[in-house]
Structure 1
Amino acid sequence: MSVRKKLPPLASLTVFEAASRLSSFTKAADELGITQAAVSHQIHQMERDFGFPLFARLHRRVVLTEKGKVLSAAATEAFGLLTTAVNDITKEAFRDELVISATVAFSYFWLMPRIFEFSRDHPEIEVRIVTQDSIPNVISAELDAVIRFGNGMWSNGRAERLFGDEIFPVCSPDYAKASGPIDCPVDLLSHSLISYDTADPMWTGWDEWLPACSVVVPKKTLGLRCSFYTEAIYAALNGQGIVLGWRHLVQDLLNQNRLVRVTNASIDAAGAYYVVSPTKRQPKPAARLFLDWITSSSLACPMDAAGSPAVQTIQTSQS
């Protein structure tokens, strides 16, 4: 029997790869331009042919089974290699285009204010930034570099550490002035604490930060809950409460006095920021220039004379 006869149809594998990467039949349907029912049918047909499930259907989401994970990893790598090969032989890859993936928060608060320096020094390179909070496919032929927070362990990715981070409460100057003294972490419980949703287990929220500062978290806290970190920062800028500031993301806002730090308490982030490049191929010249630039930029973070992060700490008083 030929190898091809042992494989599912290419159309089915395409649907499966998208569904497994996005963890959603609906999102896969949107990406592929077909209906959710068509995605479900293709997956069901594969499972019937294999004789075992590829996904566990849970409430409002799907999760890969162990066998599904094995097939997903193989399909992702195979499609990545095929795309790279096609680009190489048809010369469709833009040699001077640089495609960078970063989370929305990192892109907006750290990368975008600085990337002009790279473009100024290398005007021949067309830079495209793909903002996505989901974990991207590192070996994708489209991506030259991926910037992510984590532990540095990414399959099929070569990771280089940029910097760790420090986490502390921040708010707008107006909120700080009106709120009265906030001298220690326990004082925060009487204030509006802005939080945000995240699926990243290494990302620190109030439920982790407060206990780390020896504060018992009540069953319910006051404050606004946002879907994204960027929304939480905007809420704080508009005086709606106190949010946890990640130093490398809020440093520019602190320098501009648009946000101020409250209390001297802070904790170190569990992970660090990394720039990840594919291991299956050598970085093209534009990517090598970017990797050199961002690693150099990460070493130029502002520090005060004592060697600690240059953040602004205020003591509030009754207005």
Structure 2
Amino acid sequence: MQKTAMTSAVQREVLHPIYIELLLHLAQNKGVKPHKLVSPKLADSLKFRHKPATFFHLVERFMELCPDKYLPVNFGRQSDLAAAGTIGSAVMSAPTVRDAFEIICRFYPLTGMSYDINYKRTASETIVQMDMSDPEVPSSARNFLLESLVHSWAGCYKILRGEEIRIKSISFDFQPTTPSDYYREHFGAEVFVSTGRNIVVFDNYLFEQANLTRNSSVHSRFVARCEAALQRYRGGVTCSQIVRRYLKSENNLTSAILASIASSMNISSRTLNRRLQAENYKFSQLLQEERLSRACELLKTSAMTTAEIAEQLGYSDASNFRRAFKKWVGFSPSEFREKSPELLNGI
């Protein structure tokens, strides 16, 4: 029964498209023609979320075409947090390295990659244990991806801190392709193989460093979006609820925001509209609801003019806002402001 559940996870279209993009980019750099890995027809379907099994097959194929012992290094080092969507933005805006790493651990399921990442903190060290839980992952692809994960973390750290990371030790339950000398030279790490565990050990001081890319004004917003996406991924939140949460987090409400929401969910705008329709909603309806709610709040609690409110809500001019508001509420914005608190609270 357990194996059936795991197998279905591998076959579901849950893998983030960035992994295929990174693999194809590396293949091109190594002189491997993209069509050797994936047909043009299949490439189009991989622009959105797809089956992990497809990616694992491509990894094995790439390793056959390019037997380079530094492939895990090159694949992991391609990490570009700016291209990693909402998760990348949450990581980059985090206050410290530890905060960033905790975000990575918590929201890795959103990538669709079946990593198991856990860590514990001692008096002087942070010990990270990693593995891939899915038995359907081919062993060669698993080993490649676990090794590349270490180099991915190193690439993330360099973005966050502007310097190379130092690692105390690394243990693999397999024989890595990257020579041990590379780990010693670049990370100062001793490498132990065939230990039965995959563990990376860091000094605690590395995790307490402030990130150069931290941004407190947007960090909580990106984390909230990740939380909403994670709940939906686990089946706890509907598509319309995610859209509502996203709209509430935006400063400027425009119809163009549809593309941004779809991008944060790693789907196309057309797919987002289709999923909303399945829940008997339209994006324009949800946008209108949020505009109404925010307009009422601003009219009650702020001294902003009608024109200023219209601009913040994404209207091209104040007259359009006034017409829309009166249609929603039955009063003009100025009349709404003049009404009694009892009436306002009832709308």
Give your verdict on TM over 0.5.
no
- Report which of the two structures shows the higher radius of gyration computed on alpha carbons: 2
Normalised-by-shorter TM-score class: under 0.3
| Higher percent of residues as helix | 2
